[in-house]
Amino acid sequence: MKSTLLGLGAAALLATSALAQDGTPSPSGEPGVASPAPAPAPTAAAVCCKAPQGTVVVVETIAMVSSRFLRTGDKFDLRLAEPLVVDGHLLAPAGATGEGEVIDSDRPGVGGKAAKLVLAARYFQYANIRVPLRGFHVALAGRDQVGTSLAVSVVVGLPGFFVQGGNVDVPAGTRATAKIAEDVVLPPVAPSPSPNQGNSR
């Protein structure tokens, strides 16, 4: 009889404990449902920094671009010749690579017809982000086959337009300016450690 009473008492205690555990409200207010972990706060890199549309960048050709061998629609390699800095933040270092496009190419013709080469920067890429570009502004001078000076520059916002006698050769390393075609958010480049960093005691 005594063992029976002890068994019933133990069972009652277990049942009461289980009910207490199941009925305890979670922080979310619903019994037995764990509240979701709070979302981490955005880091500085996630919200910084915007390179606005129209920001001017300096690019350069990596190899020669010429009407001798490039036709309309062909692509050519370029890179940033100077770092992209916006509001004091370094967003892309010099050397970030990209691509340009030949908008129009025409070889010289008979009767002194000059060659023509129209170029446009299309994008550069850094940190797995493609930054669209427009324009390719650089001045080159040349003469057509009858000696008349024809060549040259471009109006801001238009592709690079070159006209000269013979073929048009834009040497490797030729610098030009282009503009960012739309707003882009880039993470700031981490500053390089100072030469003395890590040597202090």
pLDDT in the model for residue 107? 83
pLDDT in the model for residue 40? 54
* Domain made up of 45-185: CATH architecture: Beta Barrel (2.40)
pLDDT in the model for residue 145? 34
pTM over 0.85: no
pLDDT in the model for residue 33? 55
Task: Name the residue with higher pLDDT: 76 or 13.
Answer: 76
The residue-averaged pLDDT of 38-61 equals: 76
Domain boundaries, the chain: 45-185
As a whole number of angstroms, the distance between CA 182 and CA 133 comes to: 8
Residue 83 confidence (pLDDT) above 90: yes
Exposed e or buried b per residue across 131-150, where buried means at least 16 C-beta atoms within 10 angstroms of its C-beta: bbbbbbbbebebebbeeeeb
Site of tokens 């409200």: 25
Most confident of 18-22, 68-72, 129-133, 161-165: 129-133
Residue 134 confidence (pLDDT) above 60: yes
The residue-averaged pLDDT of 148-163 equals: 37
| 3-state secondary structure string across 39-83 | CCCCCHHHHCCEECCCCEEEEEECCCEECCCCCCCCEEEEEECCC
Task: Name the residue with higher pLDDT: 26 or 91.
Answer: 91
pLDDT in the model for residue 149? 26
pLDDT in the model for residue 6? 45
Residue 143 confidence (pLDDT) above 50: no
